[in-house]
Amino acid sequence: MAEPLGRVAVVTAAADGIGAATAHAFAASGDALVLVDIDGANLERAAGEIRDAVATAGRAEPEILVVTADVTDENAVDSLVAGSLERFGRIDVLVNVVGGSRPGKTAVELSSAEWQQLLALNLTSTFLMCRAVVPHMEQRGSGAIVNVSSGAGLRGMSKNPGYCAAKAGVVGLTRALAIDHGPNGVRVNCVAPGPVRTPLMRRNGTPEEIASMGRLALMGRIGEPHEIAAAIHWLASDGASYVMGQTIEVDGGPAASI
């Protein structure tokens, strides 16, 4: 197959929330997409919504490869990256959105199995995807990776030690990747969102709880997925060509603590 005219962007956790919003942003730029999620049904729905949005805007239908995969699984990651290269011939952008939070237990209360699950979902998935994609980007001499951490990985949060530790690890991994692979043309950066109105948040929190989170920000509200996607899209663009190894907080500005 001939290579797409635009970039080829791989986006994980693309079935909804920040991942789906990020996929929309790249599609609007005319980029080809590899959409990855463990939820195949919702992933197909998200791909259809992207095609509809692009058609409504009067643009050409984007090239989309939909891949149902568990990116905590090493073999699944290697397979999806190989399939992406077979389909498009290259990967220009990788966005690691996969993650999840299970608050409610302190480090003393958290089991070893729960700890390992949180690390796998929030940190190992990003490591595996980067490890699979970076050699291809280095061979081409160019590429952009944007990892998604969390404000919890920078400042911590109550009763969520596994998530905090894993998301802090994403920040450290981002910096390490930039140091090791930046000289070979691979730009690696990170976004650390604050509270965002994702489907998961709407399922887990009441409107009152969500509103109270927003009051902790200077902007007086929580973020929307498209606002995080805009930061991700910029970091992957030529407009951020001199940004390397950074973690950008997109959180509405934390209010003063005193």
Query: Is residue 169 within 8 Å of residue 130, measured between CB atoms?
Result: no
- Degrees, nearest 5: CA angle 24-124-75: 85
Active-site choice (4, 163, 169, 236): 163
Cβ pair 84, 34 in contact under 8 A: yes
E-assigned strand segments in the chain: 8-12, 32-37, 64-68, 93-96, 143-148, 186-193, 247-250
Measured distance between the N- and C-terminal CA atoms of the chain, rounded to whole angstroms: 59
Longest dimension (CA), the chain: 59
Q: Could you confirm whether 163 is annotated as catalytic?
A: yes
Give the whole-angstrom CA distance, residue 187 versus residue 245. 7
C-alpha–C-alpha distance, residues 86 and 81, integer Å = 9
Question: What residues are annotated to the active site?
Answer: 163
